[in-house]
């Protein structure tokens, strides 16, 4: 077992995508509020944006390691948001594996200064960190941004491959050891999940490797809370080796609000967007639409979405990445037969914003929001889980 530093100290290594990085920054802040020093490992390009979120946290520092250059990946792509299209996603994943050597050099420097961390928390996609951590005697906790139920379904599908047993892709499937609160058919599963056993597919090979590291990690951190995952956590933990526990610590973004820390919003220039939002009469009347940084949408698809939103007649914000779009290889072929018209968008929006189903959905979301808020407050399930995790790690390294 590695010797622990005198002050509890954690290393966090996010995957280079905003949806993966931001929750771990929130976790870093939550640890910081509990007097835990945090070092975040990232690359130079990502460090610039990460630093903006951590300006007021003196016990969180950044360690930069160079992002590797490989054939097939454009120079300067250090984040999935910088990829010209998702056709470069697999080369990007392959490149992240080459971060292992500089990562181990960082750990070696910490060992030489007798300041190894009490644990490393790294993203699911950085599975190679497990072997690195083991060689330095440091526990690796894997971070998952998805909820427990969705991850349990993914693991159960990969293990049991139920899609080979159904008479039809529309038949409900059974997942041994996992009780679902709804019917699920193969037609509703992502194609990449169904093809997960294709040994010739580079993405499947990558997922297989990180999945093996995942189930052998010391523990699992989930950005969710016990109340919404009741009855599923133990089934999810059963997929892991050596009695690893799943720690539901979320929603991580709420911890700052509990501490009374407000997000900084720049007001250097008057914001037409904020003014427009303030001019809306009814609270909750604006629909926000965003496809994130990893969705490849054609101009025609965006046209249909925009026109459908317009026809719905409700105030909306549509977030579109301002980059030149180019069709990835095979995208149009994969989308054949999967079309969403502006009329379908219009009808869906009207139902969501003004229909009975929409009202029910908003009421459920508000109820879950109240439960989530209680979970991160003092005495709440996530707050208690975070305290227990810190205590357990500190106790292990005090021995």
- Partners of residue 40 on adjacent β-strands: 12, 62
What mean pLDDT comes out for the span 314-333? 59
Burial profile 120-151: b = 16 or more Cβ within 10 angstroms, e = fewer: bbbbbbbbbbbebbeebebbbbbbbbebbbeb
- The answer on pLDDT for 333 being more than 70 is no
Burial profile 236-271: b = 16 or more Cβ within 10 angstroms, e = fewer: bbebbeeebbbbbbbbbbbbbeeeeeeeeeeeeeee
- The answer on pLDDT for 336 being more than 80 is no
- The answer on pLDDT for 107 being more than 50 is yes
Task: Quote the pTM value.
Answer: 0.86
**What pLDDT is stored for residue 328 in this prediction?**
38
**What pLDDT is stored for residue 331 in this prediction?**
38
- The answer on pLDDT for 298 being more than 80 is no
**What pLDDT is stored for residue 258 in this prediction?**
77
**What pLDDT is stored for residue 335 in this prediction?**
38
Give tens-digit pLDDT for 126-178. 999 999 999 999 999 999 989 999 999 999 988 877 555 556 788 888 888 88
**What pLDDT is stored for residue 264 in this prediction?**
52
Average pLDDT, rounded, for the chain: 86
* Extents of the domains making up the chain: 9-262+375-398, 272-354
- The answer on pLDDT for 271 being more than 80 is no
**54-58, 217-221, 324-328, 332-336: range with lowest mean pLDDT:** 324-328
| Residue 77 confidence class, pLDDT cut points 50, 70, 90 | very high
**What pLDDT is stored for residue 327 in this prediction?**
36
Better-scored residue on pLDDT, 338 or 185: 185
Q: How many residues would you count in the chain?
A: 399
**What pLDDT is stored for residue 339 in this prediction?**
56
Q: In the chain, what is the straight-line distance between the N-terminal and C-terminal CA atoms, in Å?
A: 9
**What pLDDT is stored for residue 166 in this prediction?**
56
| Residue 20 confidence class, pLDDT cut points 50, 70, 90 | very high
**What pLDDT is stored for residue 322 in this prediction?**
47
Which residues have CB under 8 Å from 121's CB, separation 6+? Answer: 10, 11, 12, 13, 24, 27, 140, 141, 142, 143, 221
What mean pLDDT comes out for the span 273-288? 82
| Residue 65 confidence class, pLDDT cut points 50, 70, 90 | very high
Handedness of CA 30, 35, 41, 43 (dihedral sign): positive
Better-scored residue on pLDDT, 96 or 160: 96
- The answer on pLDDT for 220 being more than 70 is yes
What's the Cα-to-Cα distance from 295 to each of 83, 146, 298, 324, rounded to whole Å?
Answer: 11, 17, 10, 14
CATH classification (class only), 9-262+375-398: alpha beta
Distance, CA of 205 to CA of 217 (rounded, Å): 19
What mean pLDDT comes out for the span 28-52? 95
Better-scored residue on pLDDT, 265 or 231: 231
Distance, CA of 170 to CA of 186 (rounded, Å): 6
How many CB atoms lie under 10 A from the CB of residue 326? 11
């Amino acid at each position: 077992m590695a010797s622990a530093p005198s002050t509890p100290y954690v290393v966090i290594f996010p995957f280079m995508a905003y949806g993966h990085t931001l929750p771990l920054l929130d976790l870093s802040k939550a640890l910081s509020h509990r007097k835990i020093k945090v070092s975040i490992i990232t690359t130079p390009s990502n460090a610039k944006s990460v630093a903006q979120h951590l300006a007021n946290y003196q016990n969180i520092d950044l360690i930069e390691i160079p992002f590797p250059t490989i054939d097939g990946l454009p120079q300067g792509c250090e984040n999935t948001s910088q990829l010209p299209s998702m056709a470069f996603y697999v080369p990007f994943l392959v490149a992240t594996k080459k971060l292992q050597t500089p990562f181990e050099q960082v750990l070696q420097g910490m060992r030489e200064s007798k300041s190894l961390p009490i644990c490393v928390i790294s993203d699911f996609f950085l599975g190679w960190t497990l072997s690195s951590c083991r060689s330095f005697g440091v526990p690796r906790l894997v971070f998952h941004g998805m909820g427990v139920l969705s991850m349990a379904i993914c693991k159960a599908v990969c293990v049991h491959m139920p899609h080979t047993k159904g008479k039809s892709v529309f038949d409900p499937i059974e997942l041994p050891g996992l009780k679902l609160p709804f019917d699920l058919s193969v037609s509703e599963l992502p194609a990449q999940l169904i093809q997960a056993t294709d040994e010739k597919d580079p993405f499947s090979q990558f997922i297989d490797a990180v999945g093996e590291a995942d189930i052998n990690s010391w523990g699992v951190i989930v950005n969710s809370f016990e109340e919404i995952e009741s009855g599923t956590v133990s089934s999810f933990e059963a997929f892991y080796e050596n009695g690893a526990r799943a720690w539901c610590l979320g929603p991580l973004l709420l911890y700052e609000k509990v501490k009374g820390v407000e997000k900084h919003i720049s007001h250097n220039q008057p914001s037409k967007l904020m003014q427009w939002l303030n001019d809306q009469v009814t609270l909750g009347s604006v629909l926000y639409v965003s496809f994130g940084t990893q969705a490849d949408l054609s101009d025609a698809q965006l046209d249909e979405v925009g026109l459908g939103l317009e026809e719905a007649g409700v105030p909306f914000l549509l977030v579109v990445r301002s980059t030149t779009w180019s069709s990835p290889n095979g995208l149009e072929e994969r989308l054949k037969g999967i079309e969403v018209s502006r009329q379908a968008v219009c009808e869906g929006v009207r139902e969501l914003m003004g229909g009975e189903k929409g009202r029910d959905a908003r009421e459920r979301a508000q109820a879950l929001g109240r439960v989530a808020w209680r979970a991160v407050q003092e005495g709440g399930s996530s707050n208690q889980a975070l305290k227990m995790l810190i205590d357990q790690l500190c106790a292990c390294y005090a021995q």
